[in-house]
C-alpha cells in the first residue's frame, strides 16, 4: 500500500505553503511544495531567456534540486530568495501552462510520496498528481486578504512591495491558473473547501490536523 497523501490546493497567497508545512510537521509527514518546482523551472527559463517547450522539459528533468528544511539548492547555489521573488512567481504561472512541462514534473512530484506520508501543496495535487489522496483540502481566501498577506510577507522579508501592483498580479495569476487548458485550478470534487479569510494560521492548521486525526492519519501529536 502506498504512503498516505494530504493534498492542499488553492490560489496564490492563500497560505497553502505555511499551512501545509506546519501540518506536515505536526503529523511527522514529508512535505512537497510543488510550486517551488514550477518556480525553479521559471528561474532557469528567465536565465536562459527561453519559453520553448522542449527546453523547459529538459530543464525540469535535469535540474539538480535539493529541498533542505525551507532552503532550496540548485546544484550548489542557494536560490531560496530568488525563487520566491515576484518576477519568478509570475514567470512560474506562465511556464505552468506548458503541457509537456507539467507532464515532466509529474514523476518528480510523485517521488516525494514516501512513508510515513506526504503533505503536498499546489494547484493540482488533489486533481492530477495525487487523485487518490486520503484528504484533499482546497484552501482559499478573498482576493483582498490574499493581496494583504502577500504584501506583509514581502515587507517582512525586507522586499519592496506595492499593494496595488500585487493585487493586480494576483488577479492575473488567478485568471491564468483557472483558465489554462491543462490542470486548471479547480477544487477536486471530493475536497473540503476551507475559506481562511477570517481564520488565523493556527486555526487553519488545527482544523486540517483535526480532519487528519478523524481519518487516523499521522503519528501521535
Chain-centre distance of CA 199, in angstroms?
Answer: 20
Going by C-alpha positions, the residue among 14, 69, 67, 13 that lies closest to residue 208 is: 14
Q: Quick one: angle between helices 143-156 and 163-179, nearest 10?
A: 120
Q: Determine if 12 is a binding residue for ligand CDP (CB under 6 A).
A: yes
| Region binding ligand CDP by CB under 6 A among candidate stretches 31-39, 47-55, 134-142, 195-203 | 31-39
Q: Determine if 166 is a binding residue for ligand CDP (CB under 6 A).
A: no
Q: Contacting ligand CDP (CB under 6 A), which of 7, 124, 205, 212? A: 124
Q: Which is nearer to ligand CDP, 99 or 116 (CB)?
A: 99
**Residue 10 region, left (φ>0) first, then alpha (ψ -120 to 50), else beta?**
left
Q: Which is nearer to ligand CDP, 28 or 172 (CB)?
A: 172
**Nearest distance from residue 105's CB to ligand CDP, in Å?**
8
Q: Contacting ligand CDP (CB under 6 A), which of 123, 139, 209, 218? A: 123
Number of residues in contact with ligand CDP under rule CB under 6 A: 15
List residues bridging with 195 in a β-sheet. Answer: 140
Cite the DSSP H helix spans in 49-196: 53-62, 80-83, 86-95, 99-110, 143-156, 163-179
Site for ligand CDP, rule CB under 6 A: 12-13, 34-35, 38-39, 89, 92-93, 96, 122-124, 173, 177
Amino acid at each position: 500500500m502506498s504512503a498516505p497523501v494530504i493534498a492542499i490546493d488553492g490560489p496564490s497567497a492563500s497560505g497553502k505553503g505555511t499551512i501545509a508545512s506546519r501540518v506536515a510537521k505536526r503529523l511527522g509527514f514529508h512535505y512537497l511544495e510543488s510550486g517551488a518546482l514550477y518556480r525553479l523551472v521559471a528561474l532557469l527559463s528567465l536565465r536562459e531567456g527561453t519559453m520553448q517547450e522542449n527546453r523547459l522539459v529538459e530543464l525540469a528533468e535535469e535540474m539538480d534540486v535539493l529541498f533542505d528544511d525551507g532552503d532550496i539548492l540548485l546544484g550548489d547555489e542557494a536560490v531560496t530568495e530568488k525563487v520566491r521573488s515576484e518576477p519568478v512567481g509570475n514567470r512560474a504561472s506562465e511556464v505552468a501552462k506548458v503541457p509537456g512541462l507539467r507532464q515532466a514534473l509529474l514523476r518528480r512530484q510523485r517521488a516525494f510520496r514516501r512513508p510515513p506520508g506526504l503533505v503536498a501543496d499546489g494547484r493540482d495535487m488533489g486533481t492530477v498528481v495525487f487523485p487518490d489522496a486520503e484528504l484533499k483540502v482546497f484552501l482559499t481566501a478573498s482576493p483582498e486578504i490574499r493581496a494583504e498577506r502577500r504584501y506583509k510577507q514581502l515587507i517582512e522579508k525586507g522586499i519592496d512591495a506595492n499593494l496595488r501592483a500585487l493585487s493586480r498580479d494576483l488577479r492575473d495569476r488567478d485568471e491564468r491558473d483557472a483558465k489554462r487548458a491543462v490542470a486548471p485550478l479547480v477544487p477536486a470534487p471530493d475536497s473540503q473547501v476551507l475559506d481562511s479569510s477570517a481564520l488565523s494560521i493556527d486555526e487553519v492548521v488545527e482544523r486540517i490536523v483535526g480532519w487528519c486525526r478523524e481519518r487516523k492519519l499521522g503519528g501521535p501529536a
